[in-house]
Amino acid sequence: MQPYELTLGAAAEAVRDRRLSPVELVDSVLEHLGRAEPRLQAYVTVTAEHARRAARAAEAEIAAGRHRGPLHGIPMGLKDLIDVAGLATSASSRVRAGHRAAADSTVAARLEAAGAVLVGKTHTHEFAYGLTTPQTSNAWHTGRVAGGSSGGSAVAVAAGTATFALGTDTGGSIRVPAALNGVVGLKPTYGLVPRHGVTSLSWSLDHVGPITRTVEDAALVLTALAGHDPRDPASLTAPATDYRPVTGGDLRGLRVGVPRTYYFDHVDPEVAAAVRRAIDQLAALGARLVEVEIPMTRYIQATQWGLMVPEATAYHERTLRTVPDLYRSDVRVLLEAGELMSAGDYLRAQRSRTLMRREWAAVLRQVDLIAAPTVPATAVESGQESITWADGTTEAVSDAYVRLSSPANITGVPSLSLPVGHDTAGLPIGMQLLGPPLGERLLLRVGHAYEQTRPARGLARAA
pLDDT tens readout for residues 226-252: 999 999 999 999 888 999 987 778 999
Residue 106 has pLDDT above 80, yes or no: yes
Query: Who has greater pLDDT, 68 or 461?
Result: 68
What domain count does the chain have? 2
pLDDT in tens, 314-330: 999 999 999 999 999 99
pLDDT in tens, 140-168: 999 999 999 999 999 999 999 999 999 99
Tens digits of per-residue pLDDT, 280-299? 999 999 999 999 999 999 99
Average pLDDT of the segment spanning 39-52: 98
Orientation of helix 440-451 relative to helix 269-284, angle to 10°: 100
- Are residue 232 and residue 277 in the same domain, yes or no? no
- Rounded to an integer, the average pLDDT of 107-124 is 98
Distances (CA, A) of 84 to 102, 197, 457: 8, 8, 31
So what's the pLDDT on residue 177?
A: 98
pLDDT in tens, 183-215: 999 999 999 999 999 999 999 999 999 999 999
Residue 328 and residue 312 in one domain: yes
**Rounded average pLDDT over 12-19:** 98
Same domain? 191 vs 240: yes
Active-site hit among 21, 105, 137, 149: 149
What does the pLDDT read at residue 247?
A: 73
What's the CA gap between 33 and 28, in Å, rounded?
8
Q: Give the per-residue pLDDT at 298.
A: 97
Residue 444 inside a domain? The answer is no
Q: Mean pLDDT across the stretch 260-288?
A: 98
pLDDT band at 42 (very low <50, low <70, confident <90, very high): very high
| 184 falls within a domain | yes
83 and 175 co-located in one domain: yes
- Whether 412 maps to a domain, the answer reads no
Q: Pick the catalytic residue: 21, 79, 92, 121?
A: 79
Q: What are phi and psi of 386, to 5 degrees?
A: -150, 165
Parent domain of 271:
255-401
| 442, pLDDT greater than 90 | yes
Distance CA 262, CA 337 (A): 27
In a domain, 58, yes or no: yes
Q: What is the pLDDT of residue 238?
A: 83
The domain boundary, picked from 363, 378, 401, lies at 401
Cα separation, 249 vs 445, whole angstroms: 8
Q: What is the mean pLDDT of the chain?
A: 97
User: According to the model, what pLDDT value does residue 108 have?
Assistant: 98
Q: Kindly report the CA angle at 328 between 325 and 332, in degrees rounded to 5?
A: 70
Q: Do 238 and 361 lie in a common domain?
A: no
Final residue belonging to a domain, choices 401, 417, 442 = 401
Binned at pLDDT 50, 70 and 90, residue 2 comes out as very high
393 band by pLDDT with thresholds 50, 70 and 90 = very high
Answer yes or no: do 328 and 352 share one domain. yes
pLDDT of residue 240: 85
Tell whether 22 is covered by a domain.
yes
Q: Percentage of the chain surpassing pLDDT 70?
A: 100
Residue 232 maps to which CATH number? 3.90.1300.10
Contact by Cβ (8 Å): 111, 124? no
Q: Please state whether beta strands 255-259 and 415-422 pair in parallel, antiparallel, or not at all (unpaired).
A: unpaired
Judge if 231 and 280 occupy the same domain. no
- In the residue annotation, 79 being an active-site residue is answered as yes
When pLDDT is cut at 50, 70 and 90, the band that residue 463 belongs to is: low
Considering 93, 137, 173, 200, which one is annotated as catalytic?
173
Rounded to a whole number of angstroms, the CA Rg of the chain reads 20
- At 249 the pLDDT is 86
In a domain, 416, yes or no: no
The answer on 184 and 105 residing in a single domain is yes
Q: Is 202 among the catalytic positions?
A: no
149 is catalytic: yes
Concatenating the DSSP letter of every residue in 157-221 gives: HHHTS-SEEEEEESSSTTHHHHHHHT-EEEE--TTTS--TTB--S-TTT-EEEEEESSHHHHHHH
User: What is the C-alpha separation between 297 and 309, in angstroms, rounded?
Assistant: 19
**Count of beta carbons in the 10 Å neighbourhood of residue 54:** 22
Residues 98 and 191 in one domain: yes
- Assess whether 271 and 154 both reside in one domain: no
Burial 61-82 (b: 16+ CB within 10 A, else e): bbeeeebeebbbbbbbbbbbbb
The verdict on 311 and 197 lying in the same domain is: no
pLDDT band (50, 70, 90) for residue 109: very high
Mean pLDDT calculated for residue range 42-69:
98
Asked whether residue 459 is assigned to any structural domain, the reply reads: no
pLDDT digits (tens, 9 = 90+) for 326-339: 999 999 999 999 99
Q: How confident is the model at residue 56 (pLDDT cuts 50, 70, 90)?
A: very high
Domain boundary among 194, 217, 250: 250
Q: For residue 303, is it within any domain?
A: yes
Residues 97 and 191 reside in one and the same domain:
yes
What is the DSSP-derived secondary structure letter of residue 126? Answer: G
